[in-house]
Amino acid sequence: MNLIGICIIVLLSIVIYLQYKSRREDRSSLRYITSKLNTIISDNSSEKLLLVTGDPNLKDMVIEINRLLESNRKVIVDYTRTEISMKMMLANISHDLRTPLTVVLGYIETVLHQPHLSAEERDRLLAEVQDKAKELLELIQKFFDLAKLESGDKNIPLTRVNMNEVCRKSMLLFYNQIQSEDMEAVIEIPDARIFAYGNEEALERIFNNLLSNAIRYGAEGKIVGLTLRQDAHFIFVDVWDQGKGITERHKDLIFERMYTLEDSRNKMYQGSGLGLTITKRLVEKMRGNISLRSKPYEKTTFTVQLQQIHS
C-alpha cells in the first residue's frame, strides 16, 4: 500500500472518529436537556438550561427552550397573582355587600316591628335605607363595569377630545364640594386648546374618580389641584393633593382589583377598591398610561397620559 493510500485511510479514520465523537456529545447533550426539563417541570422551578456546546443548532435550540421556560414562568406568576387577587376580591365583595345589607335589614326590621315610631323617625330610617340601597347598586354597577372592561365587552370609541373643556367640567362638578370641605382648588388649564385621542365619557369618569379620591384622602392637606399640560407628542393631566398620601409599600398595588389602603375600612376612608382599577382600565382602553407619585403630606399626584392630536 502506497503512502497516499495510508494517508486516505488515516483521514477517513479521523473523520469517522470525529463524527462518532460529535454524535456522542449530541446524545449526551440531548439526554441532559431531557433530564433537566423533566426536573424543571416537576419541581416548578425557575431554572434555565445551561449547556456548553459547539453545535450552533443545539445552541439555538437551548436559547429557544429557555425563552419558552421564561414565558411559561411568567404565565405561572401572573396566574398566581390573579388567583390571589380574585380571592381578595371575593373576600372584599362579601364584606362590602354584607355591611350595607345588614344596615338595610336592621332599619327595615325597626320600621316593621316598632309601629309607634314618629313620622319623622320613620322618614329618617327610610332615607337611610334608600341611601344604603343606592350604595349597593353603585357597588354592583362597578363590579359589572370592571368585568366588561376586562373581558373586552365594553366598547370605548376614540375620537378627538377637547381636554380643556373636559378638565374644566370635571373641576366645576367638584368645586362646591371642595369649598364645603374648606379646601383650596388650584386649577391650571392653559388658554390654548389642547386635543387628545380619547373618549369624553371615559375621561369624565376617570377625572371624577381621581378628584373624588383627592378630596376624600387629601382633605388634611386642605388643597386639591388639576393641571393640564403637554409636550410634543402627549398631553398630561395631573390630579394632586397634599394629604396623607400613599406610601411606597402601597404604590405598586393601588391599581389592583379590590385593593384598599389599611385604613380604608374606617368610616373616613371607606371604598370598594374598584375605582382606581376601573380608572386604569379606562386609561389603557384609550391607549394611555396612568402613574402615581406620592410624598405623604407634601404632594400626591396621579398623572394621566394620552396621545396628543395637534389642531
Using a pLDDT cut of 70, give the percent of the chain over it. 78
Q: Which residue has the higher pLDDT, 50 or 10?
A: 50
Encode pLDDT of 71-89 as tens digits: 878 888 877 777 776 676 6
Question: With 0-12 CB in 10 A as exposed, 13-18 as middle and 19+ as buried, what is 307?
Answer: middle
pLDDT at 267 over 60: no
Using a pLDDT cut of 90, give the percent of the chain over it. 30
**pLDDT grade, residue 275 (50/70/90)?**
confident
SS3 268: helix
pLDDT of residue 11: 66
Give domain 160-309's CATH superfamily: Histidine kinase-like ATPase, C-terminal domain (3.30.565.10)
Encode pLDDT of 139-169 as tens digits: 777 777 777 777 666 778 999 999 999 999 9
Residue spans per domain, the chain: 78-151, 160-309
In CATH terms, 78-151 corresponds, of 3.40.50.1220, 2.60.40.10, 3.50.50.60, 1.10.287.130, to: 1.10.287.130
3-state DSSP helix/strand/coil % of the chain, to nearest 5: 60, 15, 25
- Whole-Å CA distances, 288 to 111, 203, 243, 285: 50, 11, 26, 7
pLDDT of residue 248: 75
**8 Å CB contact between 163 and 238:** no
Candidate from 39-43, 266-270, 285-289 with smallest mean pLDDT: 266-270
